[in-house]
Structure formats: structure tokens, C-alpha cells
Structure 1
Amino acid sequence: MDKIGETTLLIDLAALEHNYRFLKTKLAAQTKFLAVVKAFAYGNDMVVIAKKMQALGTDYFAVAYVKEGILLREAGITAPILILHPQPVNFSETIEHCLEPSLYSPKILHSFLKVAEEKNQTDYPVHIKFNTGLNRLGFLKNDIDFIADKLKNTKALKVASIFSHLAASEDLSEKAFSQKQIAGFNNISNKLKQKLGYSPFRHILNTSGILNYPEAQFEMVRSGIGLYGYGNDKIFEEQLKPVASLKTIISQIHEIAPNESVGYNRAFTSKNYRRTATLPLGHADGIGRQYGNKRGHVNINGKSAPIIGNVCMDMIMIDVTGIDCEEGDEVLIFGPNKSAEDFAASANTISYEILTAISPRVKRVVTNL
């Protein structure tokens, strides 16, 4: 592609396809695949990613909120869309746009059933979520009879899937806990299937679950971070390709004398002569203040340069002393040659956070269409 002239997030669809096909090698041929595209497809472009995944043949999509599902429908996505965290205020829109809600509590089940019956629905697909140890959302095991009785007394709803979420699938030191969750989910789902009198498909594995517990894939798996090139483990990340690359340029270079300060609050003071560069991105673009004061590093012409001083709203300053560079040169924040996971780790956080934090004002460019 042409040289960038501003802060740009490059979205590589060839990398996305590679990651999808790699994850599919871990699955049985008949196992369904759900692509998680919430949070603007982990900070990329939700519509672009979903269209590519639909073309590749993914079976399902998942988003967090109804608003996200509506955006996909309006963009022409026709595959089933699971809403992971729906709210009652949006239930009418959920049905209007043929979105499939996760029902995770008695209140949510009551509320959605009421709306579905008012709209004269028959066998509207819903997904029953159970809490097996994450303690975030979900029914409990002792809710099985309540759920079955409620659903057997209505024609408005039909369970498309039963699912849960692993709490520590990426951490093999917690293997016993994960296996306990899987066994508990198997028991719960079998009991609910028996009481319903039919067999919804089941899913509990996320990306790390697919890679570490493929024996528990049931009838479907879900992948979010893996599709975008991160496997929560160096072994797997070597086989995945980052989809997003964040690049910017050098706006200005300064020669800093000893005892001169850089940035707000004089957070950096030079002990000797230094050369600094100012970049056009900051915490309003997703590079939080936690990356300042030499915690975060960027790459220029193959060299690593620390972020110095406090990150500003629209700018960061870096130390380029000893680096051959000039104004207008490209700067890599993260991408294939500098992992977002490594960049995030410098500030004691994770790839999910830096990826999803990239502001909508950052230009998106799609490559390898």
C-alpha cells in the first residue's frame, strides 16, 4: 500500500482468513463456528470483519449489545446473531431485526417472553446462558426446572443453544477448574435438554478453550481474540497473524538540551542532550496515559523508541536519540512485527484492551480484500 500520511489502523483480511482456517483445524468437521465481532470487532471494523467472515462461511456471529446487532443487519449480514448481553429496553428491536438474545436470568426470561408473546412470535430462537463459575452472567443449575417449565408453557420461544463461559481457559495452572466447569456444563445442558424434549446445540469454548480443551467443543465454539491474531499463549500466537496494525508518522523532531523537560507536568527531564519526536496520536486515540514515562515503546525503522513524558490527548513524544529518522517517517505502534500483546504488557494490561481502545477517529484502511 502507499505510505501512510496520518495515524492509521491497517486491517488485514488475509490474516483474518488465516486465523479462521487455523482455528477450524482444531475442530471436528460438524462443529459450528461463532465469530465474536463485538466492540467493533475488537477495535477493527465490525462490518468489514463480519462481511469477510460471512463470506468464509461462519455459522454464527455474537455481539454484546442489540445496537451492534442492528448495525450488522443494516450492513447486510444475514447469518444468525447472538446478543450476549441484551437489555429489556431493546427487546422489541431485537425481534424486529431478527436478533437472538442470551437469556441469563429469570427477569430477562420473563421480559423477553412477554415481548415475544405480544408480538405473536412462534419458536423465536433464544440462547440460555448458565453460570458455571465465571460469576458474571447466567442462570444457576437450580434454575433448570424453572426454565423448562416456563418454556414448555409457551409457543413463543424455542432454545437454539445452551451455553456458558470458561473463567480461565488460557491458564493451564487452572486446568482442574476449567475441567470442572466443562463437566458441570455438560451435566446442566443434558438435564435441560431432557426436560425440554429436544436438543439445542451447546457451546462453552472461547479461543483459549478451542486451543486447550478441544475435546469440549460440543456442537459449537466461539472465537473472538483468536480471529484477530492472539491466542493468549506464545505457542499459539506463533501460528496466528495479527489482523490490526497501528501506524503513525513523525510530526516534528526536537533537539533537547540537558535539564529541559518534555510534555505536561514536566514528567520527563533530560539529563543530557536527547532527540525527541512528536507523534499525532494520544489518549483520545486509545494510547492511554499508562503507556507514558518509558513504559510503552514504538518502532521506527526497525528500532525501538520509548514513549517519554505523559501521553497527551492528541500527541505522544518519544526518544529517538541514536535512531536514523526524520519528520514524516512511519512509526509502528503494534502489528505483525510488534505484538499488541507485548505493547499492552508494558503497561500491565492485555491485548484486548489496547485493540478495543483504538478510537473511531483513527483512519481505518482495509488490505487484502
Structure 2
Amino acid sequence: MNASGKSPAQYGGLDLFRIPAALLVVAVHTGPLLTVSSQANYLITDILARLAVPFFLAVSGFFLASGVQKGWRGLRRFCCKVLLLYGISILVYLPLMARNGYFRGCTPLSLAADLVFNGPFYHLWYFPAAVLGAVIVFLLLRRLGERGTLAVCGLLYLVGLLGDSYYGLSAVLAPLSAFYGLLFSCFDYTRNGLFLAPLFLLLGVLLREHPPRLAGRQYCALLCGGLALLMAEGELVAQLGSARHDSMYLALPLCIWPLMRLLCSVKLNSFSAIRTASTAVYVLHPLCIVAVRGGAKALGLLSQDGFLLGSSLLHYLAVATASLLAALPFALWRQRRGRVQSSPPALRARAEIDRSALAHNIGRLTKLLPSGCELMAVVKANAYGHGDVLTARVCMENGVKAFAVATLAEGIRLRRAGIKGEILILGWTPPEQSRTLARWRLTQAVVGPAYARALNDSGCRVKVHLAIDTGMHRLGFSWDGGDSLLTACGLKRLRVTGLFTHLAFSESLAPDAVRHTQEQLGRFRQAAELVTAAGYGPLALHALSSYGLLNYPPQSGMAYARPGIALYGVLSRPDEQVGTPPDLRPVLSLRAKIARIHALSPGDCAGYDGAFAPSSPARVAAVTIGYADGYPRSLSNGRGRVLIRGKFAPVAGLICMDQLLVDVTGIPEAREGDTVTLIGRDGEQVLTAEEVAQAAGTITNELLSRLGERVTRVLIP
């Protein structure tokens, strides 16, 4: 577990395949079976080994996805890392380039083409291809979305294919021949960042963004089918004799997609050392080829055909071994560096988010829903203080496909983090931000007739849910305002896909509250029937939030229920009675550290205004959390209490902005550095959020949602 709240990345399957992929690249440049069987060698080096580079590109895209979510900054970081490695690799190969006469015929234009497309040394083309391809994918995704980007990248790949394995077919047609002649005057091959890289980088991005839809055995069957097609296509290309270079095949994407899915299903922690080793093998293996051949020649072990003892297989094994040994120091360095970085920092204050408790709550709340109704997880206000991105990701893992937020910024943050499905903004968004709503595929709540017109007049088509005021008198169309409702539904630039209301009295089961709630639900049904009778729909209807779901059985025809506070395993107040007693588990625990312990004598005082002045010897502990972190100042002077080593200790004096004091006189074993639990369990004792909120004179909704950014969210299993 790390301090950001992320569990250790489980992409070990991807990492484990990197070394075989790197060794396949070595095979391409050494021909391991040439002295055994040219046909077998063609099968390995010209067909199967062509999986290696697309695999590396797809893996780059897989990790690029998080950078794409961060915008230009994430793309820049990715490109800078690749370009740095590219620059180092060029420096490594400068002596060989000079020895081979590279600079004798070099012109500024040819150098530029090599740096951008071909690579100045034969295997270094991968690095500029990854950068150029990443920029293309990033720009296309921003402009065209996933489907449009996939179409363009697929088209680029087909263009590259006709200049690669199927070049013979395009060469016989004069227009195509002229077109490719122009291309090849700019660069040597179409297996570059324009044509080959974008498709496989995009596949990696899509793999990261979308959960698998098939079982592992189905992806295995697809991989086997794809490999069979790849083999058949490779044989066809050989028979046609049409290849200018055989790096690109139609079947390659059909192999890479299921291969990546299978490798992602192997849930092992990532191996950063293997990543570094595979990169080092890729970069250094040409040097190892030169070293092996030079050494074998000096020892008289090199045959006339250039192979070690006349065996291409021995030659390959020697180069592969040398490459792995050359990569070993880099792998060890990365492993040591990883150990240092993975050591979790001592956190000043943290909110522990229990993944299993959240998953349990999702399951329990889902069981309350009728057929056809789904959860819309309310993750506004930073998921009630739990961390919106972190919470939404756990919800997605557990089948939740719809989310509700309060603001445009909250919705964008979820989209940038890769959250899919419906994201409904429950609050008001300036109409002039309609293009931003559309760009991020967000659904906007329409809060009234004037707002509907303003949003429609903004010039961009927007997906919306109409808010219906059935008695809350806060936001929405009046439930009996039929003309304004139907007018809004008919506005051309509003794509109305849902109606919703909010219940004002659902927290109570008192007779008057029940009557008001049933009245509101009846009004909502009337408004929905009016709209659907006018021919608008289908519409997603939703009315129940946490207490509505717990106190009133969801009615048929509802598409969503919107649990907020209940999703996080707490109620607003302690000992509340609900119609359906929930078996929910608290998701959040709040903890800090003892920074300092002071011994006080009678007459001493501690804190602002000397508010804590014991009449007998006492010990006070300074705890690393304060009201700026969201811990209420109203808990000062003993109204609040904490847990230390499984025992309760009262808050001493006035709570400060960054620290608070607690009286640990009754806990003599308390030491500096001890963990302090402000919400949650410590040993046999528990401090509930409901109890803390009540002591602070508020409700859990406010207490939790006010936890500040300085409190690090940490996801625990």
C-alpha cells in the first residue's frame, strides 16, 4: 500500500512477458534457426517475433492512459521519459555509427528523417515512433473520442500495411505507387510513428480504460485464433513475395488484444526490475551482437557465415545471454531504487478507505433494488471525504456504472481518472460551459425553465436530466408545471434522458414525514407520466437517496437509486431507525500520530489561552491533525475523544489549525510516534463517525465531507 491510496499495481503479467518479447526482438536481428531451417526461422523471426514491438507499444499505451487523463502534462511527462531514453541510446551508439560510416553520407534532411522516423541506428526507431504515436493518439482522443480515434488509427495502419507486407500490391497501381514513392522519399519504412505505433498505443489505452467483457478462456481462444491467422497470413505474404518489410500484418491487432487481456488477468504485483531489464535488452542487444561476434572472431569460433561455431542457434543464445547479463546491473539498480521509493512515508494524518467494506455496502444496497434498477453512487464532495476517484474506481470494480457529483469540476476529475458510464452533475453549471459538458460526456441536471433555455441557447447539444421540484423547493421544475416541462423536453439542443427528484422528509418514519414523502413520490410519478405521454423517452427515473432507499422500497420503473452517506457505511446520526436496518460497514477510519508528549505539573497549562490547566500532574500528547484538516474545533475542551493503544483519551484544550492536544495521563504507555484513531477501530474499542459528529454538533455528512486535502487517503484491502 502506498500513501496515495493506491494498492500496489498488479500488472505483473504484463511485466513477465516483457523479457520473452525482448528476446524475440533479439531473434529478429540474429536469425536463431537460419542454419537449421530457413522456413522455421521465417516462422519465428518474420511472423511470430513481429508480436514483440506491437506488444511493447500496447504496454506503453496501457501506461500512457493515466497520462492522457492528466492532459498535456501527462503526455509531456511520457514523451520526455521516452525522449530521454532515446537520447541516451543515441549517445551509446555514436561510436558504432561513426565506425559504420553513418555520418559520411549524412545530410540535414536525412538526419532529421532518421531522428523522427527511421532511428539513427536500426532498432532505435521504436522511441520516436512511441512519441509521435502518443501525440497522434492524444490529439485524436481529444477531438474524436475513442471510436473516431480507433477508426483513424485503423486507417493509418492499413495505409502502413500497404507500404510494408503488402507493398507489392500497391506498387502495381500507379497512383498508389506514386503515393508510396513520395512517402519513402521522406522515410525508409511505414513501420513508424505515423502508421504502426498509433493503433497499438490506442489498443493499450482502451485496455486500461475498459474492463474485460470475456472470460480468460475466451481470450485464450481468441489469441489462439489470432495466432493461427497470423501464421497463415505470414505464409501468404511469403508466397506473394509482396513485402517491402514484414513488420505489419492484418492479424497483429487480433493477437495483441487478447494477449494483453490474458496478461492483465494475471494478478501479480508489478516487477519494475523486469521492465528495466527488458528495456536494457532491447537497447543493448546490438552492442552484444557486436561483442559476441568480435569475441568469437578473436577466439577463432566465428564461421564464414558469421555464426558462432557455424550454428545460428548458438549465436542467438550467446547474444541473448550477453544481453541479459548486460541488462542485469540496470535491473538491480531499479530494484534497489524501487525498494527505497516503495517504503511508505510516515503520514501526518490519513483516512484509511476500506475497499472490502465499500464493496460489501455496494452489494447490500444493490440487493434492495428491484429488477432494472441500478445504483448511482453519489461521490460529490470528494465522495463525502473518502476520495472521489479512489471510491469511484472501487465502485466500478463492483459493477456500478453511474455516478452523481455536484459540480462540473468534480465530473471532469472523474473522467480524467478514467471513470466510465453515466456521470450526472446534480448542481448548477454555467450555461456557457455547455461545450465542456459535451466534451467530457457529462450529464447536466436542468434546474428550471430559464436555465433550460439558457443551456439550449449556448449552442452545444447537451445530455441532461430534468430536476423535478415535488416539495423540496430547492432546484427543479414544478411538478405541476406541465407546459414548462414539455417545452424543456422539446428544446433541440437538450437531449433529455432522465427525470429525478429529491425527497425532503425521507430520513424520518414519523407519520407526517411518511405522508410528505408519499406525496412527493406521487407528484414525481405524475410529472413522469406527463412527459412520457407526450412521447418523450425512454427516460431514466430516480428519486431515492440513502434514506429513501432504506425507508421506502424502490418502486418499479425507477432506473436508479442514489445512495450517498449509506454507501460509506454510516448514517447521519447515531441510533437512527430506518425501515430496512442496513448491514453496512464503515468505510473510513481517520488516524494521525503523536508528535510530542509533555509532562505538566499543577499550575502548568497547555494550548491557546491556557485552556487545559490540570490541577494534578498530567501528560498531554500533541497530535498531528487540526481543524484545517477537517477535525471540528467544536470538539475542544473534552467534547471530543480519541483512541490510543485501544484506550480513550479526551481532547485537551482548544483544537489548533494543524494540531490538537489530548490528555494521555490515563495511558502511561503512550509514546511519541503512536497512532491516534479519531474515527474507527483500535483494538476492542470503536469511535464511530456518528458519535464524533454528534459530539461536534453536526451530522456525519458534514463531518466526513469536510476532511481536507492534507489528510492522505489510503486504500486498504
Question: Normalising by the residue count of structure 2, what TM-score does the alignment of the two structures yield?
Answer: 0.49
> What is the rounded CA distance, in whole Å, between the counterparts of 1:3 and 1:197 in structure 2?
55
Which secondary structure does the structure 1 equivalent of 2:566 belong to?
Answer: coil
Identity of aligned residues (%): 36
**Partner of residue 263 from structure 1, selected from 600, 607, 612:** 607
**Partner of residue 498 from structure 2, selected from 161, 174, 180:** 161
Give the Å deviation of 1:84: 0.7
Does the Cα contact within 8 Å between 1:15 and 1:243 map onto a contact in 2?
yes
Q: Does residue 25 in structure 1 map to residue 362 in structure 2? A: no
> What is the rounded CA distance, in whole Å, between the counterparts of 2:533 and 2:347 in structure 1?
60
Task: Name the residue aligned to 1:341.
Answer: 690
Q: Does residue 137 in structure 1 map to residue 480 in structure 2? A: no
Task: Name the residue aligned to 1:251.
Answer: 595
Does the Cα contact within 8 Å between 1:231 and 1:240 map onto a contact in 2?
no
> Cα gap change, 1:169/1:264 in structure 2, threshold over 3 Å: closer, same or farther?
same
Task: Name the residue aligned to 1:366.
Answer: 715
> Cα gap change, 1:10/1:4 in structure 2, threshold over 3 Å: closer, same or farther?
farther
Structure (1 or 2) with the greater strand fraction: 1
Give the Å deviation of 1:38: 0.9
Q: Does residue 356 in structure 1 map to residue 694 in structure 2? A: no
> What is the rounded CA distance, in whole Å, between the counterparts of 2:471 and 2:610 in structure 1?
46
> Cα gap change, 1:204/1:269 in structure 2, threshold over 3 Å: closer, same or farther?
same
Matches within 5 A, 1:105-120: 105-115=448-458, 118-119=459-460
> What is the rounded CA distance, in whole Å, between the counterparts of 2:674 and 2:689 in structure 1?
21
Larger radius of gyration: 2
Which secondary structure does the structure 2 equivalent of 1:259 belong to?
Answer: coil
**Partner of residue 415 from structure 2, selected from 61, 64, 73:** 73
Give CA-to-partner distance per residue, 1:262-286, whole Å, 9 cap, x none: 2112222212222211101101111
> What is the rounded CA distance, in whole Å, between the counterparts of 2:435 and 2:560 in structure 1?
27
Q: Does residue 85 in structure 1 map to residue 427 in structure 2? A: yes
Which secondary structure does the structure 1 equivalent of 2:521 belong to?
Answer: helix
Greater mean alpha carbon deviation, residues 84-93 or residues 26-35: 84-93
> What is the rounded CA distance, in whole Å, between the counterparts of 1:365 and 1:126 in structure 2?
34
Which secondary structure does the structure 1 equivalent of 2:404 belong to?
Answer: strand
> What is the rounded CA distance, in whole Å, between the counterparts of 1:4 and 1:351 in structure 2?
27
> What is the rounded CA distance, in whole Å, between the counterparts of 1:77 and 1:43 in structure 2?
18
> What is the rounded CA distance, in whole Å, between the counterparts of 2:417 and 2:606 in structure 1?
45
Give CA-to-partner distance per residue, 1:110-131, whole Å, 9 cap, x none: 111112xx23x3xx42100011
Does the Cα contact within 8 Å between 2:366 and 2:374 map onto a contact in 1?
no
Q: Aligned pairs, how many?
A: 362
Task: Name the residue aligned to 1:10.
Answer: 352
Task: Name the residue aligned to 1:227.
Answer: 567
Does the Cα contact within 8 Å between 2:348 and 2:625 map onto a contact in 1?
no
Give the Å deviation of 1:51: 1.5
Which secondary structure does the structure 1 equivalent of 2:676 belong to?
Answer: strand
Which secondary structure does the structure 2 equivalent of 1:20 belong to?
Answer: helix
Structure (1 or 2) with the greater helix fraction: 2
Does the Cα contact within 8 Å between 1:34 and 1:58 map onto a contact in 2?
yes
Task: Name the residue aligned to 2:551.
Answer: 212
Which residues of structure 1 form unaligned runs of 5+?
none
The residue type paired with residue 365 of structure 1 is: V
Which secondary structure does the structure 2 equivalent of 1:314 belong to?
Answer: coil
Q: Does residue 200 in structure 1 map to residue 544 in structure 2? A: no
> What is the rounded CA distance, in whole Å, between the counterparts of 1:135 and 1:41 in structure 2?
25
Task: Name the residue aligned to 2:654.
Answer: 310
Which secondary structure does the structure 2 equivalent of 1:183 belong to?
Answer: helix
Matches within 5 A, 1:95-114: 95-114=438-457
Task: Name the residue aligned to 2:521.
Answer: 182
Give the Å deviation of 1:238: 6.4
Give the Å deviation of 1:134: 1.7
> What is the rounded CA distance, in whole Å, between the counterparts of 2:613 and 2:474 in structure 1?
45
The residue type paired with residue 29 of structure 1 is: S
Give the Å deviation of 1:234: 6.3
Give CA-to-partner distance per residue, 1:89-139, whole Å, 9 cap, x none: 432211111110000112210111112xx23x3xx4210001122222111
> What is the rounded CA distance, in whole Å, between the counterparts of 1:189 and 1:259 in structure 2?
70
Whose relative contact order is higher, 1 or 2, with alpha carbons under 8 Å and at least 6 apart?
Answer: 1
> What is the rounded CA distance, in whole Å, between the counterparts of 1:49 and 1:350 in structure 2?
21
Which secondary structure does the structure 1 equivalent of 2:705 belong to?
Answer: helix
> What is the rounded CA distance, in whole Å, between the counterparts of 1:298 and 1:95 in structure 2?
46
Does the Cα contact within 8 Å between 2:438 and 2:463 map onto a contact in 1?
no
Which residues of structure 2 form unaligned runs of 5+?
2-343
Which secondary structure does the structure 2 equivalent of 1:98 belong to?
Answer: coil
> What is the rounded CA distance, in whole Å, between the counterparts of 2:582 and 2:612 in structure 1?
36
